[in-house]
Amino acid sequence: MSFWRVLLAILFPPLSVIGKGCGSILIVFLLTLCGWVPGVIAALVILNNPN
Question: What is residue 13's predicted lDDT score, i.e. its pLDDT?
Answer: 94
The model's pTM is 0.87
For residue 20, give the DSSP letter.
Answer: G
Question: What is residue 41's predicted lDDT score, i.e. its pLDDT?
Answer: 95
Task: Please give the Cα distance from 47 to 25 (Å, whole number).
Answer: 11
**Is 20 a member of any domain?**
yes
Question: 1-51, pLDDT tens digit by residue?
Answer: 789 999 999 999 999 999 888 999 999 999 999 999 999 999 999 999 887
**Is 51 a member of any domain?**
no
**Is 1 a member of any domain?**
yes
Identify the domain containing residue 39 by its residue range.
1-46
* Overall domain count for the chain: 1
Question: What is residue 17's predicted lDDT score, i.e. its pLDDT?
Answer: 93
**Is 4 a member of any domain?**
yes
Question: What is residue 3's predicted lDDT score, i.e. its pLDDT?
Answer: 93
Contacts of residue 44, defined as CB under 8 A and 6 or more positions apart, other chains included, come to: 6, 9
Question: What is residue 22's predicted lDDT score, i.e. its pLDDT?
Answer: 92
